Amino acid sequence: MKKVLIFLPLTVLLFGCRGNTSGGAAAGGAAERQAQAVSIGIFIPGVMSGSPIYEMLAQGVRRAAEETTGVETTVVEGGYNQAEWESRVTSMAASGDYDLIVSSNPSLPAIAAAVSAKFPEQRFLLLDGELSGNPGIFTMRYNQREQAYMAGHIAALVAEASGPALAWIGLVAAQEYPAMNDSILPGYLDGARAVNPAFTVDFRVVGNWFDAERGAELAEEMIRGGVPVILPIAGGAGAGVLQAAAEAGAKVVWFDINGYDLRPGTVVGSAVLHQDRAAYEQTKRYLEGRLPFGSAELVGVVDGYVDFIEDDPLYIAAVSPEIRKAQSLLIERIRSRVLVLGE
Ligand code: RBF
């Protein structure tokens, strides 16, 4: 008994008493004495700069945290060496500093599961990834076939209108990964083929998420080969694709955020994820003790998390009324579930 009495205050001192609870916000005697402080660690698998998907993640979590008293957030950037991510997340869990670790990446569920085996009390909220059945992990994934289908559809419409070129559109990816190969690339191709079944995709890989120069080289090669419209999914390397396209008079479709104002007239489509909203809402759910750990949710256009930006004046200025009408019809068919795209 004596031992226990001594041990508790020590724990408070050493570990700041982050209650790793099974449900929502921190609970338990020690954490309650700390005015119910909740600490959320935001793990960025890469760097924030150049990757709006991560900027939206941090924004959403912070917004939820600011609306609740006693919630603090810390951003930990994992860097571009993917081999280091698991040890970085392990350190975060081992520190006991975070009631919840939030992240976003298709590779995070496997990493979190490995960390969870060593630190079963650690809770994870993971977006843009999928894993069900682990009581410490909640995931929310987007229907990226829908997102890419809308991107491919506008790319093909613009390509067809650009002249008697080949039925070709481009995709510059940072790397290959299951969501890219199984959802994004096929969705992009299918969206283009809905315009004209002759379309094919020129698919090229940068090799990392930051090399804008390499992104530009790949885009230049594609454009020289006759590709009039390119979709970059390459983090910071996408800036190079945009630059090269603008210089050559080619067009670009943007992914994840509204990109029209990055290069007005060059960017002819924006197929977006409302990841800021997802991060905000799911963090709120956690703070209210309602996040269903152990489950995996999939959301898309109908749920309002995947979208195509049609009302931006820069889109209206860049794209003809006929093309906008055809794109609108497609989006309406997806929204009204006339067209259902499995993920
Ligand atoms: N997307 C980014 O925008 N920036 C990144 O640094 C980044 N790193 C990734 C690393 C891995 C291992 C994987 C599988 C995906 C990565 N993504 C990154 C892609 C991201 O998950 C998503 O597919 C794209 O943002 C398109 O929505």
- Ligand 1 centre to CA of 177 (Å) is 9
Q: What is the DSSP string of 160-225?
A: HHT-S--SEEEEEESS--HHIIIIIHHHHHHHHHHH-TT-EEEEEE-SSSS-HHHHHHHHHHHHHT
The ligand 1 atom at the shortest distance from the C-alpha of residue 147 is 27
Quick check: CB of 143 below 6 Å from ligand 1? no
Query: Which numbered atom of ligand 1 lies nearest the CA of 104?
Result: 21
pLDDT score recorded for residue 4: 38
Distance 312 CA to ligand 1 centre (A): 25
Of 118, 3, 93, give the one whose Cα is nearest residue 43. 93
176: left (phi over 0), alpha (psi -120 to 50) or beta: beta
pLDDT tens digit at each of 343 positions of the chain? 333 333 433 333 334 344 444 444 444 444 443 456 999 999 999 999 889 999 999 999 999 999 999 999 999 999 999 999 999 999 999 999 999 999 999 999 999 999 999 999 999 999 999 999 999 999 999 999 999 999 999 999 999 999 876 799 999 999 999 999 999 999 999 999 999 999 999 999 999 999 999 999 999 999 999 999 999 999 999 999 999 999 999 999 999 999 999 999 999 999 999 999 999 999 999 999 999 999 999 999 999 999 999 999 999 999 999 999 999 999 999 999 999 998 8
Report pLDDT for 165: 64
Domains of the chain: 10-142+275-299 (3.40.50.2300), 144-272+310-335 (3.40.50.2300)
Tell whether ligand 1 has an atom less than 6 A from the beta carbon of residue 208.
no
Q: Is the CB of 142 under 6 A from ligand 1?
A: no
Other C-beta atoms within 10 Å of 58: how many? 18
CA distance 46 to 293: 25
pTM of the model: 0.91
